[in-house]
């Protein structure tokens, strides 16, 4: 599980100390530290919702990373037992990602969500990508090598920025808190003033041994650069962590063409 690593990553980027966040959600610093280091089980859905609120991200994102059922879903199933049978039928049919996306499209068309009380949409990753910022099946010996390559692709979309400067900034942020979110995924990132958000994806031909929260080797990097701070930035990081928890690295690792990868990623994001 990589929930703890995700919470730590978001907490550091939100500018909160371990003690600050623990105090705000009413737990001890020792407990929160154990959660962040994967030594305790995932918090209850109610506590995850409290953590999400303090970090400024939708609670469903953290619950999805933890594979926890939202209290909203649990309450709905209690009120409408027939909904559980519908979930069971989808499981029996083994609906694939694209098929579930079609179900989602039907729901959006026939039963549009009411704006009141609904969460703001999560910014998608696909619009931040372009074929020239996708490096597929890279062979390298260390994370730093992959960052060098990604920076070289990103600077073309960030006028006035040099690759060496961007690599240094990515490494500086990495030193503050690891961007490894587990399941073979890392999300290195840098805040660049006045820069529009862009992303690069690097898949690795051979997994790298690295200090990851779940012990799995690194297989894929999503490198984010942008001038925004605050909620949008944190939500995007949490979104990548959620994709990782649903097999992002495994699903994209063997793609050999940028358009194929974009198509697969679009399918994954359609279910968010």
Q: Where exactly are the structural domains of the chain?
A: 126-269
Residues 6+ apart with CB under 8 A from 267: 97, 98, 101
Q: Tell me the C-alpha distance between 154 and 260, whole Å.
A: 20
For tokens 């820069």, the residue is: 195
Q: Tell me the C-alpha distance between 21 and 16, whole Å.
A: 6
3-state helix, strand, coil in the chain (%, to 5): 55, 10, 35
Question: What pLDDT is stored for residue 224 in this prediction?
Answer: 97
Question: What pLDDT is stored for residue 82 in this prediction?
Answer: 81
Question: What pLDDT is stored for residue 115 in this prediction?
Answer: 52
Q: Tell me the C-alpha distance between 76 and 249, whole Å.
A: 32
Closest of 167, 158, 169 to residue 128, by C-alpha: 158
> What's the CATH architecture for 126-269?
3-Layer(aba) Sandwich (3.40)
Structure tokens, 162? 């040099």
- Cα dihedral 234/141/263/166 (nearest 10): 40
Query: What single DSSP character describes residue 141?
Result: S
Which residues are paired to 222 by β-bridges?
Answer: 201
Profile the chain (272 residues) by mean pLDDT over runs of 10 residues.
Answer: 90 96 97 95 91 94 83 71 82 81 83 62 88 96 96 91 94 95 97 89 96 95 89 93 94 93 89 63
Q: Tell me the C-alpha distance between 102 and 110, whole Å.
A: 12
Q: Tell me the C-alpha distance between 206 and 16, whole Å.
A: 36
192 HSE (CA, 13 A, CB side):
27
Q: Angle 44-189-24 (CA atoms, 0-180°, nearest 5)?
A: 35
Q: Tell me the C-alpha distance between 207 and 181, whole Å.
A: 15
Q: Tell me the C-alpha distance between 61 and 72, whole Å.
A: 13
Structure tokens, 197? 């958000």
């Amino acid at each position: 599980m990589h929930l703890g690593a995700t919470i730590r990553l978001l907490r550091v980027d939100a500018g909160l100390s371990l003690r600050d966040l623990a105090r705000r959600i009413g737990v001890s610093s020792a407990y929160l530290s154990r959660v962040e280091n994967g030594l305790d089980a995932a918090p209850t859905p109610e506590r995850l919702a409290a953590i999400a609120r303090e970090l400024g991200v939708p609670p469903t994102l953290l619950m999805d990373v933890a594979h926890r059922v939202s209290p909203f879903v649990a309450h709905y199933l209690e009120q409408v037992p027939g909904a559980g049978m519908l979930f069971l039928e989808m499981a029996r049919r083994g609906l694939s990602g694209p098929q579930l996306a079609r179900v989602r499209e039907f729901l959006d068309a026939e039963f549009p969500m009411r704006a009141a009380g609904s969460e703001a949409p999560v910014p998608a990753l696909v619009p931040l990508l372009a074929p020239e910022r996708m490096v597929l099946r890279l062979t390298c010996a260390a994370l730093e090598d992959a960052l060098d390559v990604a920076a070289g692709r990103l600077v073309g979309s960030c006028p006035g920025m040099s690759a060496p400067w961007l690599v240094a900034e990515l490494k500086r942020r990495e030193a503050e808190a690891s961007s490894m979110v587990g399941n073979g995924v890392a999300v290195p990132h840098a805040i660049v003033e006045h820069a529009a958000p862009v992303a690069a994806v690097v898949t690795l031909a051979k997994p790298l041994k690295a200090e990851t929260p779940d012990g799995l080797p690194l297989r894929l990097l999503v490198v984010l650069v942008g001038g925004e701070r605050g909620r949008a930035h944190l939500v995007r990081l949490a979104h990548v962590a959620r994709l990782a928890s649903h097999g992002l690295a495994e699903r994209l690792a063997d793609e050999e063409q940028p358009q194929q990868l974009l198509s697969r990623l679009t399918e994954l994001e359609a279910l968010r």
